[in-house]
Amino acid sequence: MIKALMVIKAETGKWKEVVDELKSISQIKQISTLTGIYDLMVEIQVDQMEELNEIMLNNIDKINGILETNTFIVLKDYK
């Protein structure tokens, strides 16, 4: 399993609509709101890197209201 954490900056006042769209992606296991320069963080779990690439390019990047994303691949969970 490959796990990625993605932080998302949404247009002002659009974060709820972005969350509603993200909920429809089955590989997203958690959606959290944040303080700071990003509005949301999502946890994505996939079997292969190609699947992550497809989700990022064909699903998440096409959601209206997303201004910026930054994605981190988890190397190892300790707890």
| Residue ranges covered by each domain of the chain | 2-73
pLDDT at position 35 is 96
pLDDT at position 1 is 94
User: For the segment 12-68, what is each residue's pLDDT rounded down to a tens digit?
Assistant: 999 999 999 999 999 999 999 999 999 999 999 999 999 999 999 999 999 999 999
Place 5 in a pLDDT band, splitting at 50, 70 and 90. Answer: very high
pTM, two decimal places:
0.93
CATH 3.30.70.920 fits 2-73, yes or no: yes
Would you say 61 and 69 are in contact if contact means Cβ atoms under 8 Å apart?
yes
pLDDT at position 74 is 98
Distances in Å between the Cα of 4 and the Cα atoms of 18, 22, 44, 71 are 18, 14, 5, 7
